Amino acid sequence: MPKAPTKRYWTVRSSSIHNRGIFARREIPNDVPIIEYIGEKITKAESTRRAEALVDKAKKTGGAAVYVFTLNQRHDVDGAKGRNPARYINHSCAPNCEAYVIRGRIWIYSIREIKAGEELTYNYGFDVDTWDDHPCCCGAERCVGFIVEEKQWPKLLRKMEKLERDVKNGKFKVNGANGHATPLVNGTRAKKKSA
Ligand SMILES: C[S@@+](CC[C@H](N)C(=O)[O-])C[C@H]1O[C@@H](n2cnc3c(N)ncnc32)[C@H](O)[C@@H]1O
Ligand SMILES: [Zn+2]
């Protein structure tokens, strides 16, 4: 199990990506545990119930932040309540961190050297099937425009090309935002890391 770093590497402040984010307070070496993602361990059924409540909230308020992490096939971790500063880490298409599940706990690791002041990000790993519910504002040069797991980017591209063809052929009228919100039922995904 990784040990929490003796020096605190991060600080919370407002982010150009979305609302609040987490930033490096000092230089962070590659491949070190930075912060644990702490939360309430919940069943998939409870997770789905909370996701549906978020959909309702998003319909009323126009948006809702998602703090659910997929832990394994049976459980998720809801990091919305209590002291969990890792909840403020935003998604990026060119991330400098990665989330790993290590013996049932979620740790955020650096995946390269990070300079003081850089915002800490990881790829949320959302499924491509809900791509148009999650536009991405990460601002990276390689941003694909939507919060989607990198492995699924080729599929995302095909879906976007198909949509473009359909619009050109007059199949759809584009009205801007898609008008519905489906916060992830499965939550943000972490990878497995051999400790
Ligand atoms: C775990 S929270 C991240 C912290 C959030 N910025 C806050 O202040 O609560 C996840 C939510 O942040 C927003 N978010 C994170 N990364 C984003 C990105 N790259 N583009 C757009 N919104 C993002 C989305 O609303 C998402 O549901
Ligand atoms: Zn992006």
Which DSSP state fits 45? Answer: H
- Residue 1: inside a domain, yes or no? no
Domain of 74 in residue numbering reads as 10-192
Q: Do the domain assignments include residue 67?
A: yes
Number of domains in the chain: 1
Q: What percent of the chain has pLDDT over 90?
A: 65
In a domain, 74, yes or no: yes
Instruction: Evaluate if residue 193 carries a pLDDT over 60.
Output: yes
- The CATH number covering residue 61 comes to 2.170.270.10
**E strands present in the chain:** 10-14, 20-24, 33-37, 40-43, 68-70, 75-78, 90-91, 97-102, 105-110, 119-122, 188-189, 191-192
Strand order in the sheet with 33-37: 33-37, 105-110, 97-102, 191-192
State the Cα–Cα distance between residues 156 and 137, nearest whole angstrom: 16
Q: Does residue 185 have a pLDDT over 60?
A: no
pLDDT of 130-175, one tens digit each?
A: 898 899 999 999 999 999 999 999 999 999 999 889 888 887 665 5
Q: Does ligand 1 lie within 6 Å of residue 54's CB atom?
A: no
Burial of 159 (0-12, 13-18, 19+ CB in 10 A): middle
Is 2 part of any domain?
no
Q: Give phi and psi for 164, each to the nearest 5.
A: -60, -45
- Determine if ligand 1 sits within 6 Å of the CB of residue 136: yes
CA distance 111 to 105: 18
Question: Which ligand lies nearest to the CA atom of residue 18 in the structure?
Answer: 1
- On whether residue 166 sits in a domain, the answer given is yes
3 located within any domain: no
Contact between residue 90 and residue 17 where contact means Cβ atoms under 8 Å apart: yes
Evaluate whether residue 50 is within a structural domain.
Answer: yes
Share of the chain above pLDDT 70, in %: 87
Residue 112 CA to ligand 1 center (angstroms) comes to 22
pLDDT recorded at residue 184: 45
